[in-house]
Structure 1
């Protein structure tokens, strides 16, 4: 499946506004964290496999640097299952 740059930007904007990292009782939206573009690109690479697979592969692939880069964790370790479902909903229209 091929999506154009405008569609990729739409995915990135939706991710920026709707998906967040949870740390204790604090939510950091991926747009503010500078991770929305990386996640959108990873999602695009897997859209042919459907929204659920694309979302899960992408959040495993995106690495989040902590402590100035001393530690890296996959985004999947910092995001709730509800947010994964939200990401699937964002991607769903692009998988049809």
Structure 2
């Protein structure tokens, strides 16, 4: 149960703070339905530390585009500042 609470807590933070950047449009991962998947990936990569865990997790998630035939790694849709934001979130989250 504790791990479910951790996933939900991290998902909530990611949902509100991390977004995909498309042109001038920001789509938050909670709205895109990607926050839980990213939270699970990050927690499963926790042993690598917050900085590496963020990058490995973002690379592991493939986002369906259009009718789902094409997939793009999430890391390719996130700005450098958003990667740093995720690293900071994980740094604080992993310390607790």
CA distance in 2, matches of 1:84, 1:35: 15
**1:18-37 equivalent positions in 2, closer than 5 A:** 18-37=17-36
CA distance in 2, matches of 1:94, 1:25: 29
The answer to whether residue 67 in structure 2 is matched with residue 82 in structure 1 is no
Give me the TM-score of the superposition, normalised by structure 1. Answer: 0.93
Give me the TM-score of the superposition, normalised by structure 2. Answer: 0.93
**Aligned residues, how many?**
94
Consecutive unaligned residues in structure 2, runs of 5 or more: none
8 Å CA contact retained: 1:47, 1:94: no
Aligned position for 1:59: 58
Aligned position for 2:3: 4
State the 1:95 CA deviation: 2.8
CA distance in 1, matches of 2:93, 2:19: 21
Q: Which runs of 4+ in 1 moved over 6 A?
A: none
8 Å CA contact retained: 1:63, 1:72: yes
